[in-house]
Amino acid sequence: MAGGFAKDGAVQDQIDATVEDAVKRVRSSLPQGESLEHCEECGNDIPEARRTAVPGVRLCVQCQAEVDKQDVFSGYNRRGSKDSQLR
């Protein structure tokens, strides 16, 4: 049930748009191309299982874990309601 000027299903549309944006963002950051045999950061070998599981991988597990810690996404919903934009 929508209230005010919002149409029926507006909340679900907002949720769907947020999820779609998140999926696009993650897919765009996936590695592409041929996997490296040695890590770009530390030079250690990248195991064959990792190279097979993640095509285009460029970092070993330890270096990737460090990059993932630094990669913080705020999750700001630009399609959100007025209340969510007041944060």
- Locate the domains of the chain by residue range: 32-70
> Residue 39, SS3?
coil
* Higher pLDDT among residues 80 and 55, named by residue: 55
- Residue 15 has what pLDDT? 87
Inform me whether the pLDDT recorded for 84 exceeds 70: no
pTM exceeds 0.75 for this model: no
19-23 CB contacts, 8 Å cutoff, 24+ apart: 22/75
Closest alpha carbon to 61 in 87, 83, 41: 41
Confidence of residue 74 (pLDDT cuts 50, 70, 90): low
pLDDT digits (tens, 9 = 90+) for 20-60: 988 998 888 777 889 999 999 999 999 999 999 888 999 99
Q: How far apart are CA 51 and CA 62, in angstroms?
A: 14
Two structure tokens written together for 37: 């045999």
Inform me whether the pLDDT recorded for 76 exceeds 70: no
**What single DSSP character describes residue 33?**
S
Closest alpha carbon to 51 in 43, 62, 59: 59
The overall average pLDDT reported for the chain is 81
**Which ranges constitute the DSSP H helices of the chain?**
10-28, 48-53, 61-70, 82-85
